[in-house]
Structure 1
Amino acid sequence: MPVRPRAANRGPLRMRDFRLLLAGAAAGQLGAQVTLAALPLVAVLQLNAPAFQVGLLTAAETAAFLLVGLPAGAWVDRMRKLPLLIRADLVRAIAMASVPLAAVAEVLTMAQLYVVALVTGVATVFFDVAHQSLLPQLLPKEQLVAGNGALETVRSSAQVAGPGIGGGLVQLLGAPLAIVADAAGYAVSALFLWRIKRPESRPQRVPGSSLRTDVAEGLRFVFGHRLLRLIAAATGLANLFSAMLMATQAVFLVRVLGLEPGAIGLVLSAAAVGGLAGALCAGPLAALLGQARIIWLSTLVTGPFALLWPLSGQGAGAALFAVGSGVVFFGAVVYNVAQVSFRQVLCPPRLLGRMNATLRFVMWGTLPLGALAGGALADAFGARVALVWCAAGFLVVPLPLLLSPLRRMRELPDATGDTDTELPVTATGEDDDSPACAAGEPAEPASRG
Structure 2
Amino acid sequence: MTATAGKSSLFRQGNFLLLWTSRSMSLFGTQLTYVALPLTAVVILHASPFQSGILGALTTLPFLLFGLGVGALLDRRKRRPVLIAADAVRAVALAWIPIAYGLDVLSIPQLFAVAFVVGTMSVLFDLAFQSYLPTMIGRPRLMEANAKMQVSESMAEVVGPGAAGALIGLLSAPLVIAADAVSYLLSSVAVLKLPADESPTWGQERGDAAPSLWTSIREGIDVVRHHPILRWCTAAAALANLFESALLAVFFLFLIRNVGLGSTEVGLIVAVGGVGAVVGAMFVERLTRLLGAGPVLVAAMALPGVGYLILGSVHGASAWTVGVAATANFIALFGLPIFNVTVISFRQVVTPDRLLGRVNATVRTFAWSALSLGSLMGGALGSTLGLRGTVLVSACGGFLASLLLFFSPLRSVRQLNEAEAADTESSTDSAHRTDTEELSESLGGPR
Place the TM-score, normalised by the shorter chain, in its bin: 0.7 to 0.9
Aligned residue number for residue 163 of structure 1: 161
Q: Tell me the CA shift for residue 23 of structure 1.
A: 0.6
Aligned residue number for residue 345 of structure 1: 349
Bigger shift: residues 416-425 or 151-160: 416-425
Deviation digits for residues 281-335 of structure 1, max 9, x if unmatched?
0000000110111111111134321245554876755555544433222201011
Cα distance between partner residues in 2 of 1:276 and 1:15: 23
Say which one has the larger Rg: 2
Cα RMSD, aligned residues only: 3.4
* 2:199 is equivalent to residue 202 of structure 1: yes
Aligned residue number for residue 224 of structure 2: 222
Aligned residue number for residue 302 of structure 2: 300
Unaligned runs of 5+ in 2: 1-5, 427-438
Cα distance between partner residues in 2 of 1:199 and 1:322: 45
Bigger shift: residues 395-404 or 199-208: 199-208
AA in 2 matched with 1:400 = L
Cα distance between partner residues in 1 of 2:257 and 2:104: 25
Bigger shift: residues 109-118 or 83-92: 109-118
Q: SS of the counterpart of 2:77?
A: coil
Cα distance between partner residues in 1 of 2:81 and 2:32: 25
Q: Tell me the CA shift for residue 75 of structure 1.
A: 0.9
AA in 1 matched with 2:336 = A
* Pairing partner for 1:235 from 234, 237, 241: 237
Aligned residue number for residue 270 of structure 1: 272
Q: SS of the counterpart of 1:179?
A: helix
Question: Would you say the 8 A contact 2:94–2:180 is kept in 1?
Answer: yes
Question: Would you say the 8 A contact 1:54–1:247 is kept in 2?
Answer: no
* 2:393 is equivalent to residue 395 of structure 1: no
Cα distance between partner residues in 2 of 1:57 and 1:248: 19
Cα distance between partner residues in 1 of 2:82 and 2:42: 34
TM-score by length of 2: 0.81
Q: 1:119-198 counterparts in 2 under 5 A?
A: 119-196=117-194, 198=195
Q: Tell me the CA shift for residue 248 of structure 1.
A: 5.3
Cα distance between partner residues in 2 of 1:240 and 1:20: 35
Cα distance between partner residues in 2 of 1:400 and 1:320: 29
Question: Would you say the 8 A contact 1:62–1:365 is kept in 2?
Answer: no
User: How many residue pairs align between the two structures?
Assistant: 417
Classify 1:158/1:108 alpha carbon distance in 2 versus 1 (closer, same or farther; 3 Å). same
Bigger shift: residues 339-348 or 161-170: 161-170
Q: 1:6-405 counterparts in 2 under 5 A?
A: 10-43=8-41, 45=43, 54-104=52-102, 108-196=106-194, 198-204=195-201, 206=203, 207-208=208-209, 209-244=211-246, 267-307=269-309, 311=314, 316=319, 317=321, 322-374=326-378, 387=391, 390-405=394-409
Q: Tell me the CA shift for residue 228 of structure 1.
A: 0.4
Question: Would you say the 8 A contact 2:58–2:116 is kept in 1?
Answer: yes
Cα distance between partner residues in 2 of 1:167 and 1:264: 15
Classify 1:387/1:276 alpha carbon distance in 2 versus 1 (closer, same or farther; 3 Å). same
Classify 1:313/1:109 alpha carbon distance in 2 versus 1 (closer, same or farther; 3 Å). farther
AA in 2 matched with 1:402 = F
Question: Would you say the 8 A contact 2:304–2:398 is kept in 1?
Answer: no
Classify 1:45/1:187 alpha carbon distance in 2 versus 1 (closer, same or farther; 3 Å). same
Question: Would you say the 8 A contact 1:62–1:367 is kept in 2?
Answer: no
AA in 1 matched with 2:29 = G
Give identity over the alignment, percent: 38
Bigger shift: residues 103-112 or 115-124: 103-112
Question: Would you say the 8 A contact 1:235–1:363 is kept in 2?
Answer: yes
Question: Would you say the 8 A contact 2:75–2:199 is kept in 1?
Answer: no
Cα distance between partner residues in 1 of 2:290 and 2:273: 25
Cα distance between partner residues in 2 of 1:312 and 1:318: 10
Write 1 or 2 for the structure with the bigger share of helix. 2
Classify 1:375/1:166 alpha carbon distance in 2 versus 1 (closer, same or farther; 3 Å). farther
AA in 2 matched with 1:156 = S
Bigger shift: residues 241-250 or 148-157: 241-250
Q: Tell me the CA shift for residue 353 of structure 1.
A: 1.0
Q: Tell me the CA shift for residue 205 of structure 1.
A: 5.6
TM-score by length of 1: 0.80
Q: SS of the counterpart of 1:96?
A: helix
Q: Tell me the CA shift for residue 69 of structure 1.
A: 0.9
Unaligned runs of 5+ in 1: 1-7, 426-431, 433-449
Cα distance between partner residues in 2 of 1:322 and 1:182: 29
Cα distance between partner residues in 1 of 2:358 and 2:135: 16
Deviation digits for residues 366-409 of structure 1, max 9, x if unmatched?
22333444466668988767655544442333232122222344
AA in 2 matched with 1:227 = I
Aligned residue number for residue 435 of structure 1: none
Bigger shift: residues 56-65 or 285-294: 56-65
Q: SS of the counterpart of 2:181?
A: helix
Classify 1:267/1:192 alpha carbon distance in 2 versus 1 (closer, same or farther; 3 Å). farther
Cα distance between partner residues in 2 of 1:392 and 1:69: 30
Cα distance between partner residues in 1 of 2:388 and 2:53: 15
Question: Would you say the 8 A contact 1:52–1:375 is kept in 2?
Answer: no
Cα distance between partner residues in 1 of 2:119 and 2:109: 15
Cα distance between partner residues in 1 of 2:53 and 2:328: 21
